[in-house]
A and B are shown apart, each in its own frame.
Chain A
Amino acid sequence: AQSVTQPDIHITVSEGASLELRCNYSYGATPYLFWYVQSPGQGLQLLLKYFSGDTLVQGIKGFEAEFKRSQSSFNLRKPSVHWSDAAEYFCAVGAKGGKLIFGQGTELSVKP
C-alpha cells in the first residue's frame, strides 16, 4: 500500500538558516509527489510538485525539492528561512483516482 513518512514531527530553525524537511514514500509505480503548507486553521497551499523530468523542482516562496528514486525520498529545502515560513508542512503522494496520501506533517518553528 502507498504510504508517506515524514520522520520529523517538529523542527526549529533560526531565521536566515537553511531548512530541509524529510519525506519518504512507498509507492509501486512512478510517484506523483507534492509538498503542501498549512498555516494554523487554514487549508493547504501547494508549494511544489514532481510528476516527471528534472528531479530538482522549484516551487513558490523560494522552496525546492529533490526527487531521489533510489532513496524513495522527496525532501523539501529552502536556503534561508523567513519567520513567515513557520507553518505545518505536508508531503503527499498521488494515488489511484487522483486522491492524495499525506504524511503526518512536520511543524516548523522559526527562531528570531
Chain B
Amino acid sequence: DTGVSQNPRHKITKRGQNVTFRCDPISEHNRLYWYRQTLGQGPEFLTYFQNEAQLEKSRLLSDRFSAERPKGSFSTLEIQRTEQGDSAMYLCASSPLASGIETQYFGPGTRLLVL
C-alpha cells in the first residue's frame, strides 16, 4: 500500500492554457474522487468514478473540466482555457468500496496557480 499519489504537486500556468493532473489511487481501490479546495475552505466534491465509470459530476465541474479513468486505475483531470478562479488545490482520494460509504484516502494534492 503506497498511498494515493498525485502529479504534479505544483503547477503554475497562464490564463487560457490547458492543464492536466494525474492521480494514482491505492491499488485495487474501486472508487476515485476529485475535490477542489480553495484557500480557507474545506474540500468541495467535483466528481467520482467507480472503476472506469464516471458516476457523478458536481455543478462545480464546468464544461471546461473533464475527468477520465480509462482503465479503472489512474485518473486524469483536465482543465481547458484556465481562468484565475481555477487557482486551488485539487485533491484526489480513493476508497476500496464498490458501494455505500467508506473511508477515503487522500493524496497530497496538486496546487494550481493561474496567472
Which positions in A face B, CB cutoff 8 Å? 4, 32, 34, 36, 41-46, 49, 51, 90, 92, 94-105
Contact = CB atoms under 8 A, between A and B. Distances in A.
Contact of B103 (A49, A96, A102): A49
A44 B91 contact: yes
B42 A102 contact: yes
Nearest to A42: B108
Interface string B75-115: 00000000000000001010101011111111111010000
Given A99-B56, A100-B33, 7 more contacts: A4-B42, A90-B42, A90-B43, A95-B101, A100-B45, A100-B93, A102-B42
Contacts, number: 65
Contacts of B109: 41-43
Nearest to A44: B106
Given A43-B4, A98-B95, A104 B41 contact: yes
